[in-house]
Amino acid sequence: MTQDTVLTNARVVLPDEVITGTVVLRDGKIADVASGGTGVPAAQDCGDDYLAPGLIELHTDNLERHMVPRPKVDWPHRAAILAHDRELAGTGITTVFDAIRVGSILSGDHKRYGKYARQMADEILDMRNRGALKISHHIHLRAEICSETLEEELDEFGADDKVGIVSLMDHTPGQRQFRDVSKFETYVRGKHNMEAEGFAEYIEFLYGLQAKLGTKHEAAAVAAAGRYGATLASHDDTTAGQVAASHAHGVAIAEFPTTVEAAEACRASGIATMMGAPNLVRGGSHSGNVAAQELAAAGLLDIVSSDYVPAALLLAAMQLADVWDDMARAIATVTATPARSVGLMDRGEVVVGKRADLIRFGLLEGAPLVQAVWSEGRRVA
């Protein structure tokens, strides 16, 4: 006989309100949600902590940080995947779309980066199928438009891989994320210890690459998303014209638009706007682009991503709860809305019949303190 998990005396974050109540988990799903307490002897007293849906992360670079913990250090992939998985579980993330780059630069004397996407995806899928991972992992292919090998790397994937997201990435300096080339120079030279002369040669190389292959690569990535049945995302849209192009491609999610103009155009086009949690937490973009809080105050923010700091996701939601004076709305930006945007209708809400992906957390001087995490009803942190 299956034993229920009963969580009581919790501030339960429902889709539209927060109630003091009890939630019952059974066979990996939410079996009951009720206001008030319970007489079940084995019920777990949550001590007035919040009980919310497990967080859903659509775009994180965290796996790459574990793969390369220091410059030129290639960590064993399976160990990196496990460390990444456990870290996310501990921050309350129960569903993640692991961002894996497709598109490499193999030639030239400048900054090179090689192919790894197919191998990494195989390792993630194998570990998922063997039950080695604590949370729900999905594949997000970051299609680097300004690269040499994008088409051939996209062809290594198919519908059987169940790729969840394909995002269109164009990091050519002078536009989008790096409109200010000096910001790009600071980032690249600092990260790769590049001299000024080498940087000048590098950006000329990138301009040539984008001019030669950019249009072709963008079309290939859009077509690949269609073959896979994946949600299509844009990245760093800056102008209304870029948003119009994204809309024409069938983009559903705009990752990190860089201006109010772009965010307003996304809203008008029915494209969900995603911003980075670190941007919210820090009070601004590290690249000098629009502040996430400005979009939130204008009602133009739909989804939050942890981006490069997993623990920032729940912290950013708490900041939004203060901005909007609405905990349920804030939690939806990291749960229900991202779930719906990628077609995962079985999770993201504390509703009977949904997956029992839940987090219990308190607040310590405004900062969230994760106390427990359940993935499909199983305690994972």
Q: Domains in the chain, start-ordered, CATH in brackets?
A: 54-345 (3.20.20.140)
User: Measured between alpha carbons, how far is 222 from 126 in angstroms, rounded to an integer?
Assistant: 27
- In this prediction, residue 290 carries a pLDDT of 94
Strands 231-235 and 29-35: unpaired
Specify the pLDDT at position 171.
66
pLDDT tens string for the chain (381 positions)? 578 999 999 999 999 999 999 999 999 999 999 999 999 999 999 999 999 999 999 999 999 999 999 878 899 999 999 999 999 999 999 999 999 999 998 876 656 678 999 999 999 999 999 999 999 999 999 999 988 999 999 999 999 999 999 999 986 665 555 665 566 655 555 555 555 566 666 777 777 778 788 899 999 999 999 999 999 999 999 999 999 999 999 999 999 999 999 999 999 999 999 999 999 999 988 777 899 999 999 999 999 999 999 999 999 999 999 999 999 999 999 999 999 999 999 999 999 999 999 999 999 998 999 999 999 999 999
Residue 175 identity: Q
Residue 197: what pLDDT? 61
The predicted model scores a pTM of: 0.91
Question: What's the pLDDT score for residue 198?
Answer: 61
Please tell me the distance from the alpha carbon of residue 272 to that of residue 208, in angstroms, as a whole number.
32
Cα 224 off chain centre by: 20
CB atoms closer than 10 angstroms to residue 287: 18
Those residues whose C-beta lies under 8 Å from the C-beta of residue 90, and which sit 6 or more positions away, are 370, 373, 381
Note the pLDDT of residue 182.
Answer: 60
Buried b (16+ CB within 10 A) or exposed e, 231-249: bbbbbbbbbbebbeebbeb
Contact between 367 and 357 under an 8 Å Cβ cutoff? The reply is no
CA distance 4 to 370: 22
CA distance 238 to 256: 9
Q: Please tell me what DSSP assigns to residue 177.
A: G
For tokens 């983009």, what's the residue? 251
User: DSSP state, 307?
Assistant: B
